Amino acid sequence: MTVVLAALTVVSVVVSVAFGAEDIPLGDVWRAVVGRLTGAPTDAGYDVIVWDLRLPRSILAAIVGAGLALAGALMQALVRNPLAEPYLLGVSAGAAVGATAVMTLGVLSALGIWALSGGALLGAMVATLTVYAVARAQGGLTALRLILSGVVLSSAFMALSSLLVFTAGDPHAAESVMFWLLGSVAGATWAKVPVAAAVVLASLVGALLIHSWLDAYAAGADTATSLGVPVRALRNALFVMQAVLVGVLVAVSGGIGFVGLIVPHAARLIVGATHRAMLPVTVCAGALFLLWVDVISRELAAPREMPLGIVTGLIGAPVFLFLMGRRRYEFGNSS
């Protein structure tokens, strides 16, 4: 199943480049890509659109989808709750504060085109450290403390973002912030691809290396401890892993909901709940899902673009309800 989904994703990356405000024939897309790789002559107009604008966008959409799906699976493992999603710990809300500060106050303007991503990443990391510190101060990094700390601090961070927008002198600040919060990969560049790809790949490899611990922990902390799993170290590792993952992805794409919630569910229904089988399927399915969500966002309101969060919400809600009604299962034990 992983191989099939991976192959579909690779094919879809090429096919998706053909769609946009101006559709491009697949033959011209292929010639533009091959021309860049081999030096063969290409149509100058299509070459720029395909290689500099749409191809990095499609690749980044696939990477972000894969990363958000993986982050969702890790978050669900961390709090042992299948309804958990990547933004539960306030990472997205913290990133929103950083991005809003850049758009309304002009902070980090010295970073140029990296200002928005840098501000979002800085905000995400501050939010992560704050949630971690609060949970630790309350008695330890347990699932309940993480959830409560994340929910409360998310509200505080979103209120701070709203305050920045309210006090901003720019009348278009609210529109810009809202579009960013709903997610988009329209600003994709080749420079953003390697960092996001490296973080997603490293997180996947790290999760697969401890897949047996994740399976044991899914049965309960006491059961995992009796099997020799270092539960505290595992919680810390999962917390850091998903926080860095979500922070980097939010910095390059804004907040995109539902991917990290529904994709791990679908993967468990397809291959079961064991993490060794489920995680690769989750990553490939997330990449494929968000890649075509981006295509839909380009085509649905052309020549304008719809934020990805709107499309994922419209698709994700009914799909999630369908999955829930089609087959009953509990976290860590599909049936």
Q: Is residue 323 part of a domain?
A: yes
Answer whether 165's CB lies under 8 Å from 100's CB: yes
CATH code at position 79 = 1.10.3470.10
198 in any annotated domain: yes
Residue 148 lies in a domain: no
Neighbours of 37 (CB within 10 A): 9
pLDDT at residue 10, as a whole number: 92
Residue 94 backbone phi and psi in degrees, to 5? -65, -40
Q: Look at the chain and report how many structural domains it folds into.
A: 1
Q: What angle do CA 233, 234, 240 make, to 5 degrees?
A: 90
Residue 98 falls inside a structural domain? no
Residues 211, 275: contact at Cβ < 8 Å? yes
Round to whole Å and give the CA distance between 60 and 186. Answer: 10
Return the pLDDT at 57: 94
Phi and psi, residue 334, nearest 5°: -80, 145
pLDDT at position 301:
75
What pLDDT is recorded for position 44? 64
Is the residue at 234 inside a domain?
A: yes
The dihedral region occupied by 85, where left means phi > 0, alpha psi between -120 and 50, and beta the remainder, is: beta
Q: What angle do CA 259, 249, 186 make, to 5 degrees?
A: 85
Q: What is the DSSP letter of 140?
A: S
Range of the domain at 28: 2-89+170-334
Residue 142 placed within a domain: no
* Cα–Cα distance measured from residue 191 to residue 174, given in angstroms and rounded to the nearest whole number: 28
∠264-333-63 over CA atoms, to 5°?
15
φ and ψ at residue 41, rounded to 5 degrees: -65, 145
Task: Please list the pLDDT of the chain residue by residue as tens digits (335 residues).
Answer: 889 999 999 999 989 998 877 788 888 888 888 877 777 766 667 778 888 889 999 999 999 999 999 999 998 888 887 777 888 888 888 888 888 888 888 777 777 667 888 888 888 888 888 988 888 887 777 777 888 888 898 899 989 988 888 887 676 777 777 777 888 888 888 988 998 999 999 999 999 999 999 999 988 888 899 999 999 899 888 888 888 888 889 888 888 988 998 899 889 888 988 999 999 999 999 999 999 999 999 888 777 888 898 999 888 888 777 766 665 544 444 43
> CA 157 to CA 57: how far, in whole Å?
29
Tell me the angle at which helices 115-137 and 91-105 cross, rounded to the nearest 10 degrees: 140
Residue 79 lies in a domain: yes
- Structural domain includes residue 197: yes
